[in-house]
Amino acid sequence: MAQDRRPAGRSERRTAGERKPREERWAQLLEVATQVFYEKGYDGASLQDIADRLGMLKGSLYYYIQSKEDLLFEVISEVHREGFAVVSSAAAGPGDPLDRLERTIRAHVEHACRNLVPTAVFLHELASLPTPRREAILGSGHAYQGVFRDLVAEARREGLVRDGVDPRVAGLSILGSTNWVYRWFRPDGPSTPEEIGVQLAAMAVHGVATTEALAAREAVVGA
């Protein structure tokens, strides 16, 4: 478990062991855990890895947590809360449903790009949580995907969306194209988060809207 097995020099402390106040360490722990889960996956990550990066011993982690799973829960919980807040506040703002959809997608994408690592952990390791805790985070109604579906449905009721577009499938399509960014976005890549947000939002809106609704939007922009 430790390969440098010191011969128990009782009166010698670990050099790396900085003593920090609880709150600060807790934040650091969450950050490190997120990074390690990102790099190795939940099952592949060991508490040893995490402790090492904190300059701690594995056992000391249990001063802060009850179990490894708790740690994942905490990490994912935080990411989801934040992301959901961003999306649902964007969706709740002013404008017609298509405007709001466009703005929500942009907000979602930008947020995901700027929080790549936590987002990736959320999307990738959510399945590693046992069902009850997973649903405690998502809400049993899968609130996240509901936002997009509802926006499309509302737009459809106002005649802004083509017949034959199923709001549920459309919402999932949008969620797919936007969530996928965590797989390919690179901060040093050719596109900024804003550019990507604009592109994906435009494609989504064009994807569902009627020709008339699109023409009306053009007219407003042009004015």
Nearer to DNA, 46 or 89 (CB): 46
Q: Cβ of residue 50: shortest distance to DNA, in angstroms?
A: 8
The pair phi, psi for residue 68, each rounded to 5°, is: -60, -40
Query: Is the distance from CB of 28 to CB of 76 less than 8 angstroms?
Result: no
Residue 67's CB: how many other CB atoms inside 10 A? 11
Q: Distance between CA 221 and CA 216 in Å, rounded?
A: 9
Of residues 142 through 201, those in contact with a second copy by CB under 8 A are: 145, 162, 164-166, 168-170, 172-181, 183-184, 190-191, 196, 199-200
Polymer length in residues for the chain: 223
* Residue 25 binds: one of a second copy, DNA, none (C-beta under 5 to 8 A by kind): DNA
Q: Which are the contacts of 19, defined by CB distance < 8 A and separation ≥ 6?
A: none
Q: Confirm or reject binding of residue 206 to a second copy (CB under 8 A).
A: yes
- Binding partner selected for residue 162 from a second copy, DNA, none, CB under the kind-specific 5 to 8 Å limit: a second copy
Answer with the entry of DNA, a second copy, none that 17 interacts with (C-beta below 5 to 8 A by kind). Answer: DNA
Measured between alpha carbons, how far is 147 from 153 in angstroms, rounded to an integer? 10
**Site residues for a second copy per CB under 8 A:** 41-44, 124, 127-128, 145, 162, 164-166, 168-170, 172-181, 183-184, 190-191, 196, 199-200, 202-204, 206-208, 211, 214-215
